[in-house]
Chain A
Amino acid sequence: MKMPNTFLRIDDLHVEIDGKEILRGLDFEVKEGEIHVIMGPNGAGKSTLANVLMGHPKYDVTAGKISLGTQDITELKTHERAKLGLFLSFQYPQEIAGITLENFLRSAKNATSQTPMKVLEFQKLLKQKMSVLEMDPEYATRYLNHGFSGGEKKKSEILQMLVLDPKLAILDETDSGLDVDAVRVVAKGIQEYHHADNSLVLITHHKSLLEHIRPDAVHFLVDGRIVESGGVELIAKMEESGFTAYKG
């Protein structure tokens, strides 16, 4: 069996926002086919990490390096990262009036694909993925996330992930604020997405999603660093004693 390649690699990442250092020397690595879970207390830098990976301009990377495959993406613009196969499911997805979910996703699909997809082929794909997520097809004709409930927005994010089919998906607290049924649907979406050649990073506070998904590794992110990495057994440890032991 061939060894899986490293897809995402973060070396000694330091990130500031408005002069305040949030990530303080973070190292992290994801191989193809792997599912990683990142847990940590509020304010530890989890969402910062997700946003920095996607290239949010409001964060300053003061040191360190982010690589996708063999490419250094530290300086790349957000859309260029997306074209390389990076995807972020937002904790708080934006509402964009005036453009339908379907039209938007078709633009995005064409922007991230080598060759444009035919309209009918795209519609078929969209319909199939919506049915996996138990979404009413009518949502495709609604404005992007506009007037969607919290749960609908998260489903919209997972739908976008399924349609765009990225190499690496980062899910930033996709499970928070969801009821049991919605968590089940999100998990179903993740299972639909995941295969041996793509990877997932799940940022979460809860273990509910992890009842459906079996991660390859679990990491604790505290005060801007990965302080502990291990297997699923770490989840039980966190449940028991929280993160206080790691705080400086």
Chain B
Amino acid sequence: MSQKKTYVADIERELYDQKNPFTYSYKAEQGLTEEIIREISAQKNEPQWMLDFRLASLATYHQLDLPPWGPDITELDVDNIVTYVKPTVDRKYTWDDIPADIKQTFDLLGIPKAEHEFLAGVGAQYDSEVVYHSIQESVAKEGVVYLDMETAVHEYEDLVREHFMSLVPPRDHKFAALHGAVWSGGSFVYVPAGVNVEIPLQSYFRSNAPGAGQFEHTLIIVEPGSYLHFIEGCSAPRYSVNNLHAGCVELFVREGSTLRYSTIENWSRNMFNLNTKRALVDKDASIEWVSGSFGSKVSMLYPMSILRGERARSEFIGVTFAGGGQVLDTGAKVVHAAPYTSSTINTKSISKGGGTAIYRGLVKINKNAHHSKSTVTCESLILDNESVSDTIPVMQIDTDEVDLGHEAKIGRISDEAIFYLMSRGIDEEEAKAMIVRGFVEPISKELPLEYAVEMNNLVKLELEGTIG
């Protein structure tokens, strides 16, 4: 153990030196200043326009207030937001500082030891770079670009400049503005017209950029007639003392193409997860969201599809698991902005041990979007009397010629179902887990096998209460 400590300390010092060539005291700073933004930009050696963008976002950030709706996030120290932003502070702790429950989760999830320290944010290097490069090479043959966001700013400057935060403008909300000012890490994917990317691309393999998993930016453009499945996140909670996550995902789905965007997120229990995801969907194109939300203290996550071309489609399936002390306020938004567009939203939530799971969603059908269809189905499973579930579906319909469906079900695990399973030799805990796994099965079956297995493991761990 002592050996490990030394190892970590060495790596950490090295990183610290590397990332902070300038010596200034963070303690002297009050609030998020221009200097810090310039610092971040300079470290990334960014073009002037990006620095300008960051500074404009910072100004917006200072103008905007916290959202007046949704869960309570007043515990976030907004006046001293810099403590969440400082790029090096998450390296300033060692393996010993990582909470025991997180370490235990790594073991229970069967995450290889080598990855533990990386995932915990204390490791420096991680072999996934190798995997990442090989994937990069195999798709490059087809003209697919798969880069980290920083590199893309340099190598695909025009594309990035045209699209970056055009779907989620910094004005959108305070944390979008913060993201615009301090973003770091993330993925850039460009799929040329007519290319079918057969293997799913997984951000997991390249999420070790500094600050990744906190303010990462994902920008994906799939050109006409192409296909891509992108998978974001992983089931292991990434621990950070910087407990604010304000990522941003922008997806451009061009005519006749399909983009599937799958996420499994499992945040450490101190995390405020305020993430913004949006897709712009053209004529005859499809966006498919698959979303699994676990962990965090508070999550606010409502992926949005803007169906702007005729016959554009959006399909959203999501599962949310809220345990004790957690408020997971999740859902989906769809704007039907063209005729013959269609959307489905299918969510499942589980709340347990006093947790709160809220579905919050919006379906907006514009006046011109005649002959559009939308179906929203929300199912909640409440595992005990202390837990809470709520559904807040909003529909704004500006045309008569639409086909709408909405269904919400809130249920509990029936004693009779448990008795039935137990009568076949299954113990009570496993019987409950079976029912919950069955409940989320429509979502897990949409995931690649290894992720489905991980999600089932997560469900099991959540039920056993071994996480958090």
- B420 touching A99 by the CB < 8 A rule? no
Report whether A98 and B422 are in contact in the complex, using a CB–CB cutoff of 8 Å: no
Is the C-beta of B163 less than 8 angstroms from some C-beta in chain A?
no
Answer yes or no: B440 CB below 8 A from chain A CBs: yes
**Known contacts A97-B441, A99-B437, A99-B441; is A111 also within 8 Å of B426 by CB?**
yes
B424, A111: Cβ atoms closer than 8 Å: yes
Give the complex CA separation of A164 and B424 in angstroms.
8
Instruction: Scan residues 380-438 of chain B and give those whose CB is less than 8 A from a CB of chain A.
Output: 414-417, 419-428, 430-431, 434-435, 437-438
Given the interface pairs A56-B419, A94-B416, the reply to whether A111 lies near B434 with Cβ below 8 Å is no
The total of Cβ contacts below 8 Å across the A-B interface reads 79
> In the bound complex, do residue A77 and residue B422 qualify as a contact, i.e. CB atoms below 8 Å apart?
yes
Contact, CB under 8 Å: B425 / A94: no
Question: Are A97 and B438 in touch, CB under 8 angstroms?
Answer: yes
Q: Do the beta carbons of B424 and A143 come within 8 Å of each other?
A: no
- B417's nearest neighbour on chain A, judged by CB, is A94
Contact between B425 and A98 (Cβ–Cβ < 8 Å)? no
In the complex, whether A160 has a CB less than 8 A from a CB of chain B is yes
Residues of A within 8 A of B414 (CB): 94
Interface membership of B439, Cβ < 8 A = yes
Interface size on A, residues (CB 8 A): 29
From B420, B437, B438, contact of A93 by CB (8 A): B420
B325 on interface, CB distance cutoff 8 Å? no
Q: Which of A96-133 contact B (CB under 8 A)?
A: 96-99, 104-105, 107-108, 111-112
Verify A79–B426 contact, CB threshold 8 A. yes
The answer to whether B426 touches A108 (Cβ under 8 A) is yes
**Docked CA distance A105–B415 (Å):** 20
B427 lies within 8 A of A79 (CB): yes
**A83 interface residue per 8 A CB criterion:** yes
The reply on B442 being an interface residue by CB < 8 A is: yes
Chain B neighbourhood of A164, CB < 8 A: 424-425
- Bound Cα distance from A99 to B417, whole angstroms: 13
Asked whether B423 lies within 8 Å of A54 as measured between CB atoms, the reply is: yes
CB of B170, distance to nearest CB on chain A (Å): 41
* A:155-203 near B, CB below 8 Å: 160, 164
Q: Known contacts being A57-B415, A79-B428, is A88 close to B437, with CB within 8 Å?
A: no
CB proximity of B347 to chain A, nearest CB, Å: 15
What residues of chain B lie closer than 8 Å to A7, measured between beta carbons? none
Please state if B416 and A108 are interface contacts (CB–CB under 8 Å): no
Q: Is A220 an interface residue (CB 8 A)?
A: no
**Nearest chain B CB to A117's CB is how many angstroms away?**
13
A247 at the interface (CB under 8 A from B): no
Which chain A residues (21-60) contact chain B, with CB distance < 8 Å? 54-58
A96 and B422 form a contact (CB under 8 A)? no
Q: Would A112 and B424 count as touching, CB distance under 8 A?
A: yes
CB distance from B122 to the nearest CB of A (A): 38
Q: Which residues of B have CB within 8 Å of A160?
A: 424
- Distance of A58 Cα from B425 Cα, bound (Å): 18
Measured between beta carbons, the chain B residues less than 8 angstroms from A77 are 422, 427-428
Q: Are B441 and A98 in contact (CB under 8 A)?
A: yes
Residue ID in chain A nearest B443 by CB atoms: A98
Distance, CA A88 to CA B441, complexed state (A): 27
By a CB distance below 8 angstroms, the chain B residues around A108 are: 424-426
- Nearest-CB residue, chain A, relative to B445: A98
Say how far B436's CB is from chain A's closest CB, in angstroms.
Answer: 9
Question: Are A97 and B422 in contact, CB atoms less than 8 angstroms apart?
Answer: no
Which of A94, A105, A143, A160 has the most C-beta atoms of chain B within 10 angstroms of its own C-beta? A94
Beta-carbon contact of A99 and B438 below 8 Å:
yes
Q: Which of B415, B435, B440 contacts A96 (CB 8 A)?
A: B435
Tell whether A68 is near chain B: CB-to-CB under 8 Å: no
Determine the distance from Cα of A108 to Cα of B425 in the docked complex, in whole angstroms: 6
**Separation in Å of the A57 CB from the closest CB of chain B?**
7
Q: 8 Å CB contacts to A: which residues of B424-468? A: 424-428, 430-431, 434-435, 437-442
Nearest CB to that of A103 among chain B residues? B434
Check if A78 is an interface residue, CB within 8 A of chain B: yes
Decide if A243 is an interface residue (CB 8 Å cutoff): no
Give A36 Cβ to nearest chain B Cβ, in Å: 19
List the A side residues contacting B426 at CB < 8 Å.
Answer: 79, 107-108, 111
Q: Is the CB of A82 within 8 A of B417?
A: no
Residues of B close to A55: CB separation below 8 A? 422
CB-CB under 8 A for A58 and B415, given A96-B421, A111-B425, A160-B424: yes
Query: Residue on A with the closest CB to B435?
Result: A96
Residues of B bordering A, CB below 8 Å: 414-417, 419-428, 430-431, 434-435, 437-442
Give 8 new A-B contacts, CB below 8 A, not counting A94-B417, A160-B424.
A78-B423, A81-B423, A83-B425, A98-B438, A99-B434, A112-B424, A112-B425, A164-B424
Nearest 3 A-B pairs (CB), nearest first?
A98-B438, A98-B441, A111-B425
